[in-house]
Amino acid sequence: MWWLCHETRTWIQIKNWLQEITGYQSGLRLETFLLGIIKDRLPKEVKYLLLHITTATRIAFAQVWKTPNTPNEELIIHKITESAEMNMLTLRLKEKDDSEFFLIWNG
């Protein structure tokens, strides 16, 4: 029932993006998209991308929650990009190889 709401179309777009990026066909599960709970057995890289992209989307929703609008694609993509950049900086601070970052985000 929740997925039929007009306001949730953004989440359907996010699901489609994730399917295009990862090749993983997921169902629309509330616990995955709204809470970040993943019950499926997924490769580490897919789970990582799923968590980061859904978290960035939730942040975009939080920024516009007092407005009558849902976040647009530009804002969501900006938040995903910020997440990727912060991840890259975190890996550098931990002195880990950048290849780990690029393997996941550019895979």
Q: What is the pLDDT of residue 100?
A: 58
Q: What is the pLDDT of residue 51?
A: 86
Q: Do residues 88 and 100 touch, judged by C-beta distance below 8 A? A: no
What type of residue sits at position 64? V
Q: What is the pLDDT along the chain (107 residues), one digit of tens a residue?
A: 556 677 777 878 888 888 888 887 766 677 777 788 887 788 888 888 888 888 998 899 899 888 888 888 899 999 999 988 888 888 788 877 665 556 666 65
- C-alpha distances in Å from residue 68, one per residue of 22, 49, 62, 64: 32, 29, 12, 8
List helix spans (H) across 30-97.
Answer: 30-35, 44-63, 73-93
Domain of residue 101: give its range.
2-106
Instruction: State the virtual CA torsion across 32, 80, 74, 3 in degrees, nearest 10.
Output: 0
Instruction: State the virtual CA torsion across 20, 103, 53, 36 in degrees, nearest 10.
Output: 110
Q: What is the pLDDT of residue 91?
A: 79
What gap in Å lies between CA 44 and CA 49, rounded to an integer?
9
Please count the structural domains in the chain: 1
pTM for the structure as a whole: 0.77
Q: What is the pLDDT of residue 15?
A: 84
